Structure 1
Amino acid sequence: MKLLAISDLHLANPVNREALAGLPHAPEDWLILAGDMAERLEHMRALFALTAERFARVIWVPGNHELWTVSENGADSGNGSDSLAGEAKYQALVDLAREFGVVTPEDEYPIWTGPGGPCVVAPLFLLYDYSFRPDDLPRDQVIAWAREGGAVCADEMLLNPAPYPSREAWCAARCDEAEARLMALDGAPTVLVNHYPLRRDLVHIPRIPRFIPWCGTRRTEDWHVRFNAKVAVSGHLHVRRTDWIDGTRFEEVSLGYPRQWDQKRGILPYIREILPGPPTMA
């Protein structure tokens, strides 16, 4: 019995969809889906159906790609009448997940009682607020600074924060809600799951270093301590790695685009073991 995790499946790509279809059954294990699964609801439905059938429990948090406003008929413009934006898109995803019994950030946090437990598995939807930018860079210069480095995120065109006035406001609201729920756990050990890394010093993207403003919020940098995290799970960076900070293990669990993983190995070796995992810091 294991608690497993993967993120950034990017199922718009047929290579990744084919690899997912070959995922074996693991009826005793739990699987965390840590965001950036797909942009379109039809791909999300197929994902939830497949994983819910093959794992004992599935837990999902959204990444930025799930939240993009895109046409469900396959066009990329996001201008079709079937397009959903912002909170409406997120709620549609939550409703879809619940059809298959998939746990979302809106549901009661499940308790892992298997090896490495007991602990609360807390799926979080926190977004980002551009505060991971350099200390001396004003907010109103972030886009220009990133563009100079060829790193402007497509969210600037496709991630509509409606009804919030900005992505920062949506992030603040999500952090407020999650913080209150985590405080109510009263120190219980946790596994914190968020698409974005909780700390700025966990962002290692040497190919596109100026992408960092779209990678999280400084507000969460001490949450692993405040909320007694055994493990913090994230994706987004497409740089698989394990870090230890303050006795907490941080796992980046991305698969990524086909060029970023060895297709001959299949998808299974890229699913990371969260619990029981290694017992102590390496």
Structure 2
Amino acid sequence: MESTAGAGQLLAISDLHISYPENRELVEKMRPGTDDDWLIVAGDVAETVADIRWVLETFADRFAKVLWAPGNHDLWTHPKDPVTLRGVARYEHLVALCRELGVVSPEDPYPVWEGPGGPVVVAPLFLLYDYSFLPAGCTTKEEGLAYAHGTGIVCNDEYLLLGPAVADNRAIRFRPPEDTDLVLIWGDDTAVPAATAIIESLPAGARVRAWLEVPHAGDVQDVATAADAEIDWVVGTTAEAAIRGARLPAAERPYVWIAGESGRVKELRRHFVGERGVDRRRVTFAGYWRQGLTEEQLREAGE
């Protein structure tokens, strides 16, 4: 971050991800080399609005000008974030936050850098996802997503950018029939963002029994929901034994949503259908990944 001969510099940084303590510490230590330095913050600052505000406010107080363009993590509606805005509304909220702090966003006039190497127009662009980048044999977005689910490799954006608040959500695939009287949920750590978003979206009166796996105790979350939800956080191990031994609430029309490693998903589906007697039509299952196989190997195996 040093400038030369007292001249300002046009600097850039990205992927700060300050939910990691060491990254937050890095931001706290960052200083411009001169009073004329500009800083481009090129996305993936954090997953919550409060953290994004802290970073941009910290930089705006130190640098002559700060420019921000969003990354996918900035636009996630994370279960831990009390700001529950989604999609365009979340982006517009962050643009308003930038304007409050004096930070240039993609929606503002592009400034001109007149320092060393200038004049240069600095354009913090926000470009939408392009579904034309599809796997071989797929011709539409829907086919590409179906292929991704089939291989067990699905980007988390499909769950945190398109959670259950979206009426027609093909990605998260949470579709309980209207007569459901009990929701059963299992997810490994890769499915926790989707599972917690589902639980938080459920209305008062909905009964939920969930088993969510996380690697560390610090990954356990407070899930705010109006539903009558009992959540077992399974730390550092697997939940199969707890699920098989669980006394479930009485229910005539349960619905099951299970997601995570595809081999375990299949086993739990067999348990709920074959041992618990749940109608297979009332079970939604999604394999996000496959233990020991890469995407290419999954493709070759036809999974």
Normalising by structure 2, we get a TM-score of 0.48
- Residue 43 of structure 2 corresponds to which residue in structure 1? 35
Q: Which runs of 5 or more residues in structure 2 are unaligned?
A: 1-7, 170-293, 297-303
Q: Relative to structure 1, is the Cα distance of residues 59 and 21 closer, same or farther in structure 2, using a 3 angstrom cutoff?
A: same
The structure-2 alpha-carbon separation of the partners of 1:45 and 1:108, relative to structure 1 and needing over 3 Å to count, comes to same
Matched, 1:94 2:102: no
Give the greater-gyration-radius structure (CA): 2
Give the whole-Å Cα distance in 2 for the aligned partners of 1:164 and 1:105: 28
The offset of 1:4, in angstroms, is 1.1
- 2-side partners of 1:209 and 1:109: how far apart? 40
Q: Compute the displacement of 1:146 (Å).
A: 3.3
Partner of 2:153: 151
Letter in 2 for 1:145: Y
- Runs of 4+ deviating beyond 4 Å: 147-150, 161-166
Give the percent of matched residue pairs that are identical in Structure 1 and Structure 2. 51
1:12 aligns with 2:19: yes
Q: Aligned-residue CA RMSD in angstroms? A: 3.0
Please list the CA deviations of residues 136-185 of structure 1 after superposition, one character each: whole Å capped at 9, or x if unmatched.
4222332243346653111111113999999xxxxxxxxxxxxxxxxxxx
Q: Aligned in 2, Cα 1:46/1:91: closer, same or farther, shift over 3 Å? A: same
Residues 32 and 136 (structure 1 numbering): CA distance in 2 closer, same or farther, change over 3 Å?
Answer: same
Name the structure 1 match of 2:110: 109
Give me the whole-angstrom Cα distance separating, in 2, the residues matched to 1:153 and 1:135: 18
C-alpha contact (below 8 Å) 1:38/1:66 kept by paired residues: yes
Alignment gaps of 5+ in structure 1: 167-207, 211-282
Pair 1:53–1:165, CA change in 2 (3 A): farther
State the Cα deviation string for residues 227-279 of structure 1 (Å, max 9, x = none): xxxxxxxxxxxxxxxxxxxxxxxxxxxxxxxxxxxxxxxxxxxxxxxxxxxxx
Deviation at 1:2, TM superposition (A): 1.3
* Paired positions, count: 164
Question: How many angstroms apart in 2 are the aligned matches of 1:70 and 1:8?
Answer: 17
Counterpart position of 1:21: 28
Confirm or deny that 1:123 pairs with 2:124: yes
Matches within 5 A, 1:1-282: 1-26=8-33, 27-71=35-79, 74=80, 82-134=83-135, 136-139=137-140, 140-147=142-149, 151-160=153-162
Offset from partner CA, 1:27-69 (integer Å, 9 cap, x none)? 2211111111111111011101111112111100011111111
Residue aligning to 2:192: none
Work out whether residues 135 and 144 of structure 2, in 8 Å CA contact, stay in contact via their aligned partners in 1.
Answer: no
Q: Which structure would you say has the larger RCO, counting Cα contacts within 8 Å and 6 or more residues apart?
A: 1
2: CA distance, partners of 1:32 / 1:8: 12
- Residue 124 of structure 1 aligns to a residue whose secondary structure is coil
Farther-moved stretch of structure 1 (137-146 vs 123-132)? 137-146
Once residues 124 and 165 of structure 1 are traced to their aligned partners in structure 2, the CA distance between those partners, rounded to angstroms, is: 29
Aligned counterparts of 1:141 and 1:61: Cα–Cα separation in 2: 30
Deviation at 1:92, TM superposition (A): 1.0
Give the letter aligned to residue 17 of structure 2: H
- Structure 2 Cα separation of the partners of residues 62 and 165 of structure 1: 25
SS of 1:32's equivalent in the other structure is strand
Kindly tell me: are residues 97 and 137 of structure 1, through their superposed partners in 2, closer, same or farther at Cα, counting changes over 3 Å? same
Residue in structure 1 matched with residue 267 of structure 2 by the alignment: none
Report the Cα distance in structure 2 between the residues aligned to 1:20 and 1:148, rounded to whole angstroms: 40
Q: Deviations over 1:119-138 (max 9, x none)?
A: 21111111212212246422
TM-score normalised over the length of structure 1: 0.52
CA separation of 1:149/1:10 partners in 2, compared to 1, >3 Å: closer, same or farther? farther
